[in-house]
Amino acid sequence: MSPAKPAMAMEATRETARGPMEEDAAGRPARNAEATTSGPEVRVSGVALRYETRNGPVQALADCSLAVSGGSFACLVGPSGCGKSTLLDIVAGLAPLQEGRIEIDRRPDGQPARLAVVFQKPALFPWKTVLGNVLFGLDAQGIPAAEARERARRFIALVGLGGLEKADPHELSGGMAQRVGIARALALEPDVLLMDEPFAAVDAQTRALLQEELRRITAHSGMTVLFVTHDVSEAVYLGDTVFVMSGRPGRILRTISPDAGQRDRSSGAFARLTSEIFDLLAHSAPANARPGARE
């Protein structure tokens, strides 16, 4: 939930500081260790957010800290209303940074890292075709028309929508529309991809297919991904790292790095780890948690 009325800003700093697909033991697309570059590291330190409502002040986040390794896929999981989306918005620069520090390493050429955001709903322009929607961000960046069209078509094909470039949004299913939103973000060739529960509104079968597609696309890209979800099994399956968040005020309860066996949905290790996280979310109060403790 976005803050209704931000409180007076406290000390805060946002900085920008510096072949064939293989599968892991769980049968998922493996990260490409031979990628020439990896995305920037993202560091969140001591972030807090407080805002005013008609019923008084709300402390949405408190002393929230995490670090996403460059080129990794990190998931942020927590109960509804804990501030997951708010934290993602702060990292993206879409919500105020009142207190704390956000650091995103620069690109190798010294330029600031490029960020792209995928929201829960794709928010496509209904008067534009699939191609027109993917071209929108490229046109805004001033990419030459021929290059923009070639890049847009390439990413439309990458998300499995080749041949639908001329389709209108109302002709697409929910899962297809979300693929267009993902293609639009990927076409910007971001260094950091921020995703806010992008599969929450689709059916279970489509969700599983989109999860596989996302892992296939990002596994060899080198980009850094921060993926917000309330689905514990999704977080364990997708994440190289899983940040478990407390209820409001949100903070990081634990940082978990699942191994290949724990990310195999058919394994007992997967069931045990998801059960442990559910238990942590259900019984760990923020006041008694060990913020940022790594498992």
- Please tell me whether residues 172 and 258 are part of one structural domain: no
Range of the domain at 77: 12-114+191-294
In a shared domain, residues 41 and 110: yes
Residue 1 lies in a domain: no
pLDDT value of residue 19: 37
**Three-class DSSP category at 177:** helix
- Provide the pLDDT for residue 218: 83
Same-domain status, 250 and 108:
yes
175 and 225, same structural domain?
A: no
Give alpha helix (H) positions in the chain: 84-92, 130-140, 145-158, 174-186, 204-219, 232-238, 268-283
pLDDT given for residue 27 in this prediction? 54
b/e 16-54 (16+ beta carbons within 10 angstroms → b): beeeeeeebebebbbbbeeeeebbbbbbbebbbbbbeee
Last residue of a domain, one of 168, 189, 210: 189
Per-residue confidence (pLDDT) for residue 210, from 0 to 100: 86
Say if strands 241-245 and 115-118 run parallel, antiparallel, or are unpaired: unpaired
Residue 170 DSSP symbol:
G
Residue 209 lies in a domain: yes
pLDDT of residue 51: 86
- Domain's final residue, options 142, 165, 189: 189
What's the pLDDT at 16? 52
Residues 238 and 286 in one domain: yes
The domain tally of the chain equals: 2
Provide the pLDDT for residue 291.
41
Considering the domain architecture, whether residues 181 and 197 belong to the same structural domain is answered as: no
pTM: 0.83
Residue 117: the pLDDT is 93
Q: How confident is the model at residue 86, as a pLDDT?
A: 93
pLDDT at residue 1 in the model? 44
Same domain, 19 and 150: no
pLDDT by residue, tens only, the chain of 295 residues: 444 433 333 345 555 554 344 555 555 555 544 444 688 999 999 999 998 888 888 889 999 999 999 999 999 999 888 899 999 999 999 998 989 999 999 998 889 999 999 988 888 999 999 999 999 989 988 899 999 999 999 999 988 899 999 999 999 998 899 999 999 999 999 999 999 998 887 888 888 888 888 888 887 788 999 999 999 999 999 999 999 999 889 999 999 999 999 999 999 999 999 999 999 888 755 444 444 444 4
CATH number for 89: 3.40.50.300
Residue 261 forms part of a structural domain? yes
Domain C-terminal end among 154, 189, 224: 189
